[in-house]
Amino acid sequence: MSLLIGDNVVVSMHYTLTNNDGEVLDTSEGSDPLVYLHGAGNIIPGLEKALTGKPAGASVQAKIAPAEAYGEVQPQLVETEPAAAFQGVDKIEPGMAFQAQGSDGSVRRIVVTEVSGDEVTVDGNHPLAGVELNFDVQVTDVREASAEEISHGHVH
Ligand code: ZN
């Protein structure tokens, strides 16, 4: 019997991720396969679900809704800040990314989306928030995780 993907299994896979317009957002093509510990929250929940129960060699196509991927767009994460809040930056331009610390202490990546006079609009949503994801996966290897990998929650 071949080992099937489930909790505490290490999976190697090649994948291509596209949006609904067919644009490639990410791919492992041309590099090493992605290797991850299944069931430990290392990849998005929707892809874990789609891969569960599959053996090495399987091809998996999965369409994953934002709720099972990077979440819906949260309008409250789009904020307008005074330019003075960006100390040490000579010229603030759309597309610039910064690390921002929230009131709960968590660090979030924010991207400048608009600059209007002294007002800077930033967006703290994940770039793939609200995006339906299409995965084309080839499972290249499946093995049992070691006790150490399981206790660490990641692959060694
Ligand atoms: Zn470790």
Q: Residue 27: is its pLDDT beyond 80? A: yes
Residue range 57-76, pLDDT digits in tens: 999 999 999 999 999 999 99
- Between the CA of 146 and the centroid of ligand 1 the distance, in Å, is 11
Q: What is the Cα–Cα distance from 112 to 121, expressed in whole angstroms?
A: 6
pLDDT bin (cut points 50, 70, 90) of residue 86 is: confident
- Between the CA of 2 and the centroid of ligand 1 the distance, in Å, is 26
Q: Residue 4: is its pLDDT beyond 80? A: yes
Q: Residues near 47 by Cβ (< 8 Å), separated by ≥ 6?
A: 62, 64, 69, 135, 137
Lowest-confidence segment of 39-43, 87-91, 141-145 by average pLDDT: 87-91
- Between the CA of 31 and the centroid of ligand 1 the distance, in Å, is 23
Helix, strand or coil, per DSSP, at residue 132: coil
Residue range 95-109, pLDDT digits in tens: 999 988 877 888 889
Helix, strand or coil, per DSSP, at residue 143: strand
Q: Residue 61 forms beta bridges with which residues?
A: 136
- Between the CA of 23 and the centroid of ligand 1 the distance, in Å, is 34
- Between the CA of 156 and the centroid of ligand 1 the distance, in Å, is 6
Radius of gyration for the chain, computed over Cα atoms and rounded to the nearest angstrom: 19
- Between the CA of 38 and the centroid of ligand 1 the distance, in Å, is 14
The alpha-helical segments, DSSP class H, found in 8-156 are 45-51, 147-152
Q: What is the Cα–Cα distance from 137 to 47, expressed in whole angstroms?
A: 10
Q: What is the Cα–Cα distance from 50 to 54, expressed in whole angstroms?
A: 8
- Between the CA of 99 and the centroid of ligand 1 the distance, in Å, is 26
